[in-house]
A and B are shown apart, each in its own frame.
Chain A
Amino acid sequence: MKKAIGDNMILKEWGLDKGLELVKQAGFDGIELWLGDVPWFQMSTTDSEVGELRRKVDNAGLVVSNVSTGLHWASPLSARDPKVRALAVRIVEREIETAVLLGTDAILLVAGLVTAEVPYNEVYQRCLEALRPLGEKAARAGVRIGCENCNAEHRFLISPREFWQFLNDVNSPAVGIHLDVGNIHDTGFAEQWIEIHGPRITRIHVKDVMKKRGRCGDQSVYTNLFLGDNNWPAIRGALTKVGYDGWLVAEMEARYRYAPDLQFHDTAQAMDRLISGRL
């Protein structure tokens, strides 16, 4: 397995160049690029600018693990407004285009957003309708779409069986799951999600979670690896069982208040221990 970290962890004041240098120094193999979340990678970023971005990643001795985006929180594929939905589709298309330009074969999206206003059944149908043609588009580009399990946050596809059925209904080999082992909270067990989804896992986000806390003000439920309640030996065992040998991508919500560069080093070392199984 290889390890990466999101470029949204790079402090804005550092800039991309310094950030890439830190990522490399910390021991990561790659970087996850977040479309729309960082100044250097926006929807308005041109193809040639994306090419320049790739050169910077190459020059730092890294590769792009995958393209992700948080833009679907504001513009979900499940929106009732057809204009918002069209924008959501365009975001996915741009992810696919840039993945090709950046030399990676996976993108992340948040499949749908259940709210008090937009109910579950509508979200389910609308996401299917959006993902089927997007799956075909991704397949033609040689890219796999990973729908992230954001269980508590998007209130959608909360159990692994629901997610499994959803992917069955999409019925595209180019559409799988970008599994986040921290997002499952107290609704299940990451190792069971890994076993159920196996070959459909496109990438894995790693972070730890304090399952009993719940969100409270600005207190995050997420924490650094090995500080929370995830059963890491079980997760490691499940990865071996299903033969997952792809990217592990660190996604921290809570940052170090001091010495923020140290978080990169600590996280990379923790991921090394996870990969090696020395837990």
Chain B
Amino acid sequence: MGITRRRFLGYAAGAATVGLRGRPLDLWRLGRSVGTSRSCVLLDLKAHGCLSDSVSGYESVLTSAGVRWMRAEARSVSPARGAVLIVPAALEIPPAAVQAIVSYLQAGATVILESGAGFAAGREFRVHRVELRDYLRVRVEAPVQLWSAHTSSQGIPYVDYSWPHSAKVRDFSRVVPLGPQAGDVIAWVDGLPVALKRHGGRGTLVFLGSPLGPALWAGDAEARRWLFDCLGEAGGCAEPAIS
């Protein structure tokens, strides 16, 4: 690993507990000069991410909305480049990605970390769980298959978000539920907590146990609104120019 657990905990312990605030949303709209290069960075995990449609979802929505964003590999990510780091469909989280996440949090940015482990099993999932626990202090439970318990009479197991605003987003068949831990649970599905918001360093970590990217890719308007409100809360990238 490029970063030790001790070093990460050192970062976290020494950091302020409030996230980055205050960048006016309208400064981030399309066509406005904001006098800064900070924008949204999509972390490209390549072989380590397992849901290409999630990556495509974020890419298509950020592009169509005119948000300033860039796709970057973990090794080349610098916190100065962005107010928000999005990590789509992470499965194995390589050391360079952990380092990027931690450095973003340290710099006061928001990190949206999406688990892509819903379909993982055995060793793949164990590694994912250990990495989340040891390096990011996010505790997750084994994936849950939502549809095995859902017949047509029980309806669709939508993911209900409560932050930054209430939103109902289509499920992705399997979720990685949260274990008991510090932070605010911001989404539930079928009584399972599946998304978390927590201050880390000077920034904010938003962990999604149900991937949002595929819903973005499929054109789910509520998923788009949720993402842009989330970006707006982070003080970056803000609202879509095209909805």
Contacts and interface: CB of A to CB of B under 8 A. Distances in A.
B18 interface: no
A185 B152 CA distance: 25
Interface string B205-225: 000000000100111100000
Interface of A: 80-83, 116-119, 121-122, 125-126, 129
Q: Which 3 A-B pairs have the closest CB atoms?
A: A121-B218, A122-B218, A81-B119
A183 to B, nearest CB: 24
A125 B59 CA distance: 14
A119 B147 CA distance: 13
A80 B52 contact: no
B53 A126 contact: yes
Contacts of B51: 82
A68 B140 CA distance: 43
B173 interface: yes
A129 B56 contact: yes
Nearest to B60: A125
18 contacts: A80-B172, A80-B214, A81-B173, A82-B50, A82-B51, A116-B147, A116-B152, A116-B156, A117-B147, A118-B173, A119-B218, A121-B219, A122-B214, A122-B218, A125-B53, A125-B56, A126-B53, A129-B56
A82 B147 contact: no
Interface of B: 50-53, 56, 119, 147, 152, 156, 170, 172-174, 214, 217-220
Contacts of A118: 173
A262 to B, nearest CB: 42
Contact of B53 (A117, A119, A122): A122
Contacts of B172: 80
What DSSP secondary structure best describes chain B's contact surface?
Answer: loop
Contact of A80 (B56, B156, B173, B220): B173
A119 B50 CA distance: 20
Nearest to B156: A116
A155 to B, nearest CB: 14
Contacts of A119: 170, 218
Nearest to A126: B53
A82 B52 contact: yes
Contacts of B152: 116
A158 to B, nearest CB: 18
B119 A83 contact: yes
A129 B213 CA distance: 15
A122 B119 contact: no
* Residue of B50, B51, B119, B219 with most chain A CB atoms under a 10 A cut-off: B119
B216 to A, nearest CB: 10
Contacts of B173: 80-81, 117-118
B219 A82 contact: no
A129 B119 contact: no
Given A122-B53, A125-B218, 6 more contacts: A80-B172, A116-B156, A122-B217, A122-B218, A125-B53, A125-B56
Contacts of A80: 119, 172-174, 214
Nearest to A120: B218
Nearest to A84: B119
A129 B218 contact: no
Given A81-B119, A82-B119, A129 B52 contact: yes
Nearest to A82: B50
A117 B147 CA distance: 7
Nearest to B151: A116
B147 A129 contact: no
Contacts of A82: 50-52, 119
A129 B56 CA distance: 10
A122 B169 CA distance: 13
Contacts of B56: 125, 129
A82 B50 CA distance: 7
Contacts of B156: 116
* Residue of A80, A116, A118 with most chain B CB atoms under a 10 A cut-off: A80
A118 B171 CA distance: 9
A129 B53 contact: yes
Contacts of B220: 121
Contacts of B214: 80, 122
Contacts of A81: 119, 173
A143 to B, nearest CB: 24
